[in-house]
Chain A
Amino acid sequence: MRSANQIERRRQRRRRRRRRILSSGLYNTVMAASTADSWSWFPALALGVSFLKCLMINSYHSTDFEVHRNWLAITHSLPVSKWYHESTSEWTLDYPPLFAWFEYGLSHVAQHFDKKMLVVQNLGYASPATVLFQRLSVIATDVVFIYAVRECCRSVREEKGSKDLLVRPYFILAALLLWNYGLLIVDHIHFQYNGFLCGILLLSVARHLQGRHLEGAFLFAVLLNLKHIYLYIAPAYGIFLLRSYCFTKDNTDGSVRWSSLSLVRLIALGSIVISVCALSFGPFIAMGQLPQVLSRLFPFKRGLCHAYWAPNIWALYNVVDKALSVGFLRCLVVCALCSFMFGWHVHEKAILMAILPLSVLAVESREDAGIFLMLATTGHYSLFPLLFTATEMPTKVLLILLFTLYSFTSLKKLFRGFLLNTLEVTYLLGLIAVEIICEVVYPLLPWKQTLPFVTLLAKSVYCSLGVSYSFIRLYLSILRPTDKPKEL
């Protein structure tokens, strides 16, 4: 028999338990976050940057906004056979077919926001509902990027015996990737879908790191069919997959054992890539429109081939034998940088293709962290001219300060010590001087009227020094003889 006291105490305990369950959800994740093994901080980081992106909905957007609105209109209003022939607007469809299908899918959601944006003739249409829809679509597709970052963080190596959450490599990597300045500025202000595309790239990389090569290959094939600019890094991919997946065994000295070619694997890889391309280009080949599509994708075919394939292949010739020991990711970054340095009709946004994978390397090795700081800071600063309006000026300055300060302090804390020598630091401080001279001093000088492009030139030249320097250092890191095979 229980006494009244015991019954009362039991009742109170039950009440308290109920209360705790109600409040436990979010709180438990908080408590668990302080033990660095749980991943509850990840949604907080992702949500924070998504909030920031929502606030940028009404900022300046470039002509890329109209480009994508036009493509929504084309894919929605016209039959497939007309997609690559349509040229009412100057912004013709010049991405591969899979991206066109992506826009087609988006257009079905768009019609609930504002039907008028889907009319091809409405050139320059930018009603508030249109802006809201387009911005939200970028923010929503970024979920692919967020998932990819999570997968990359899972694959990051770390030393044992730490430490506070804020100093863990995967936390720093997540922060550097999720809050990457370049992506924020280019995607959510200037307007593009790089987050979505880089997400697929990073996911593919993560799958390779996890040993799921077929999935990685599939994802990369999809990526190529979404935006053909990734052809720049296709050689790195192709050679790596051939080398490490199709040749199943190595010789004792690490070089290729040609006899171990696995036909099954080669056929599997080949069929995945071919089927994705078939799915994407199939309808157009059937309609006999392949030449037209290719002419849209590669507007000046001959020049492009000569200009960018040559240095690319030349660069890779040096690493073809060492691909596995050098590391797939490093190869990828060098490839991307090669294309940036020597490619034809390169846009400054292409630097993101190098910076993002380099972030993964940066949290694992001290030297890479130093290179990353140089490349990221210079590369991000080179994006400044993309946002030239007065209203966006404080945003871009504050955001770059935020990202740069964070990357310096967190990587310094991770590797316990200075990562850059005096000359490098002086160069980076010089970026501030360049900005002040170009924005404040030069407009007061009389030459501004006659030579208005001097500021852009000065910034480009100054940044090119930093980017070239980083490129050379990365390249040398490949050529150096390695004693042990790295996993990346």
Chain B
Amino acid sequence: AAGPGRAGAGRDALREELLLSPLPAGDVAATFQFRTRWDADLQRGAVSHYRLFPKALGRLVAALGVRELHLALTQGFWRTRAWGQPPLQAPAGAELWVWFQPTVTDVDKAWKELSNILSGIFCASLNFIDSTNTVTPTASFKPLGLANGTDHRLLRYAVLPREVVCTENLTPWKKLLPCGSKAGLAVLLKAERLFHSSYHSQAVHIRPVCRDASCLAVSWELRQTLTVVFDSFSSGQGKKDWSLFRMFSRTLTDACPLASQSKVYVDISPKNKENELLEVTPPPASVHEAVVQGDKRTYAVYDLLSPSLFNTSRSLNVQLKWKRPQDSSELPTPILHAQRYVSGYGLQTGEISTLVYNTHPYRAFPVILLETVPWYLRLYVHTLTIITKGKENKPSYIHYQPAQDRRRPHLLEMLIQLPANSVTKITIQFERALLKWTEYPPDPNHGFYVGSSVLSALVPSVIAMKAVDVEQSPLFASLFPSSDGSSYFVRLYTEPLLVNLPTPDFSMPYNVICLTCTVVAVCYGSFYNLLTRTFHVEEPSRDGLAKRLANIIRKFRGVPPL
């Protein structure tokens, strides 16, 4: 599908891939990846003729001096503990992080402009990204693509945990695909099924990559990924069997004619060595074995471009059956996982606790923790404690940027060493600030979100890994570059927190107005009467009501009337 190489407009190629992996807890995760690679330098500004690469994003990159762009829109939370290490996790809500070119003079202005344009392209509320939720991490987010320097001042990172992701975000995302949702794997992307799931995350990654092994020229890569987790256990009457049709209510009939590669991978790794538990139909033409995230895995591969696949039937409906019920006791725990919660009572102070687990039996490894906390939670940095196995754990690197009210959030980055087989507890206390009454969002009693904290680590692998060739290996294994064979990169996001702030009674001003007005009106009325009435000396009435009453009582008592 590559066009003839011409000067200026380089070759472009599209690869599409679907990875289906049964999760330990019985759910099924489907990860779509669409990768457009364009052998042209977007930055030079000379390129304005687009073929597979979407014009909207290409112009954005060229106009605003973007070196790398990562946008994820997520609904739900990836439960690392039950589902294992995610191929690509994203925090709940919207996440955007961008590296700008060193030529960009005003990074904040470009960032503001970029978030506004992206908000238009993806119909998301990214325009709410401003200085109060933008940070510049120093260590957590390194460029994933080709980069000469890593001057972190060119990086901007923001999370909007309140963002709700739905169909209106999916449609523009699908529109960026060269085949749309008309052909290829994207026909499965039917909104009503995708959002009827436990976890939905769609992302766009743009980065420059090496054109070839010698890396003398730059190519641009656009990856569109979509991860969705179906709860097949509850929807399948207690059975964990699934098929493409049952999940997406569609089947695959062809590959996108523009794609140079179109494959479906199904994770059929045996859980125990001796017994095969799974059965996939139709039988796969080939099997791919790889070490992914420190684990040996086996994948059944269906190549949609091979003509033999559609020989027997017109469509491909991958089915998976469990031969016998799986015992739930054999849930493997991932080596690195974390959880976070907010504790304390009352509306004045509280405490954020993060628990980071390292379940590796004998290897210790460091992890970078990034916390961004909005300014209205005032962190007490002196209360920061990191405790591992009952002892204090001193972080080897701390970067703390205090918040400024209504200007910027807290940023806390730490490099923490996690000993083998340990739980590390990080706590920090905070005080809740009082907001101005106009600063409360609609429904303030729902609470305020605090974005996920980010854990980035090089996790030591149990099995030696081979360095992967990006062009050859499956896409799900090649977003994060692996540095060496002994460890692999993992980025985890913890739960977002919901914190209650002291919320005033918003009807109070009106109540006060009403009360004051009434008092004033009553006073006014009496004064008015006092000033306008004419007073006469009244003759005592002959038969007043009081006199009559008194007479009745007197009569009753037997006393002569008045």
A binds B: no
Interface residues of B (CB under 8 A from A): none
Interface residues of A (CB under 8 A from B): none
